[in-house]
Amino acid sequence: MMLHIPGVLTAEELADLRSRLAAGEWVDGRGTAGAQSGSVKNNLQIAPDSPLGKELSTFVLRKLGTNPLYNSAVLPLRLVPPLFNRYDVGMNFGAHVDNALRPIPGTGHRIRTDVSSTLFISDLDEYDGGELVLHGPSEEKRVRLPAGDMIVYPTTALHTVTPVTRGSRWGSFFWAQSVIRSQEHRSILFDLDQSIMALTQSHGPKNAEVLRLTNVYHNLLRTWAEM
C-alpha cells in the first residue's frame, strides 16, 4: 500500500528544520547504503551520528508518534531513526532495493524493514526532477509532494530518485518494522480503522456497529500481530 500523508510538518516547523539543515554539515550519502544501493547512490546526507542528525531525527520521531494516519497505516513496532538527505543538480539514486534488515544505531539491534517513508522538506518550486519512482510489476508510480508531506510505501518496492535538474531537493527518509508483517493484512486493518473512525464521527463511539467493528479490528490485530 502506498499512502500520501499530508501536513506532517507545519510551516513553522518546516522553516525551523530547513534553517537547521542549511547550517549543517552534509556528507557523502553512500555511508548509510548497502553494497548494491551504494553503487547507484549519489547524494548528500547529514551525518546520522552528529548532534544535529540525532536532534532532528528525534524531532521527526516525535511528530510521527502523534500522527494518526501514519500510525493507522504502518502500525509501527520499531523505527530506524530518520535520516536527512539532499540532492543537488545532477544527483540521483538509481534503481535499488532497501536492505531487508537495518541496524538501529547505538543499540546493537536490527529490525526487519516493512515500510519505507520519505518526508519532503523542499518546496516544489525550489527544484525540478528528483521524483521518487516506485517500480511495480505493471506500472511505475512517480511521487513528488509539497514540503511537509510524506509518502509511505512497502519496503519491498524497487525504487529510484530521478536526477535533480534545477535547485536542491531535501528530505527525510526512514524505515519501520510493523507489528503486522503482511502488507495485505496491514491494508485490511488500515481500511477497517479508517471506516471505524469515520463511523465514530457520524454515529458516536457508543454506537453498536462502531463497537462491533472495533471489536473485529482488535481481534484481527491480536491474530496477526508479531511482537
What integer pLDDT is reported at residue 38 of this predicted model? 81
Can you say which residues are annotated as belonging to the binding site?
Answer: 96, 98, 159, 169
Order of all β-strands in the sheet with 92-96: 41-42, 92-96, 158-161, 132-135, 140-143
Can you say which residues are annotated as belonging to the binding site for 2-oxoglutarate?
Answer: 169
Please list the pLDDT of the chain residue by residue as tens digits (227 residues).
Answer: 899 999 999 999 999 999 999 999 999 998 887 777 888 999 999 999 999 999 999 999 999 999 999 999 999 999 999 999 999 999 999 999 999 999 998 888 999 999 999 999 999 999 999 999 999 888 899 999 999 999 999 999 999 999 999 999 999 999 999 999 999 999 999 999 999 999 999 999 999 999 999 999 999 999 999 99
What integer pLDDT is reported at residue 201 of this predicted model? 96
Q: How far apart are CA 98 and CA 110, in angstroms?
A: 14
Q: How far apart are CA 104 and CA 189, in angstroms?
A: 27
* Beta-bridge partner residues of 179: none
Assess whether the region 3-178 and the region 183-224 belong to the same CATH fold.
no
What integer pLDDT is reported at residue 214 of this predicted model? 98
Can you say which residues are annotated as belonging to the binding site for Fe cation?
Answer: 96, 98, 159
Cell of 140: 511505475
Given a contact cutoff of 8 angstroms between Cβ atoms, the answer to whether 155 and 116 are in contact is yes
CATH superfamily of 3-178: q2cbj1_9rhob like domain (2.60.120.620)
- Kindly report the backbone phi and psi dihedral angles of residue 119, in degrees, each rounded to the nearest multiple of 5, phi listed first: -105, 120
- The H-or-E segment that residue 195 falls in is helix 183-203
Q: Which CATH class is domain 183-224?
A: few secondary structures
What integer pLDDT is reported at residue 2 of this predicted model? 94
- The H-or-E segment that residue 157 falls in is none
- Kindly report the backbone phi and psi dihedral angles of residue 107, in degrees, each rounded to the nearest multiple of 5, phi listed first: -115, -20
Cβ burial, residue 227 (10 Å; 0-12/13-18/19+): exposed
What integer pLDDT is reported at residue 212 of this predicted model? 98
What integer pLDDT is reported at residue 139 of this predicted model? 85
User: Domains of the chain: which residue ranges?
Assistant: 3-178, 183-224
Given a contact cutoff of 8 angstroms between Cβ atoms, the answer to whether 45 and 29 are in contact is yes
Q: How far apart are CA 81 and CA 174, in angstroms?
A: 7
User: Alpha-carbon dihedral of residues 178, 179, 185, 191, nearest 10 degrees?
Assistant: -80
Kindly give, in sequence order, each residue whose CB lies less than 8 Å from that of residue 217, ignoring residues fewer than 6 positions away: 189, 192, 193, 196
What integer pLDDT is reported at residue 135 of this predicted model? 94
Cβ burial, residue 101 (10 Å; 0-12/13-18/19+): exposed
What integer pLDDT is reported at residue 137 of this predicted model? 83
What integer pLDDT is reported at residue 138 of this predicted model? 82
pTM, two decimal places:
0.94
Q: Residue 11 is which amino acid?
A: A
Cell of 51: 548532534
| Tens digit of each residue's pLDDT (9 = 90 or more) over 8-45 | 999 999 999 999 999 999 999 988 877 778 889 999 99
- Kindly report the backbone phi and psi dihedral angles of residue 2, in degrees, each rounded to the nearest multiple of 5, phi listed first: -105, 135
C-alpha 158: how far from its chain's center? Answer: 15
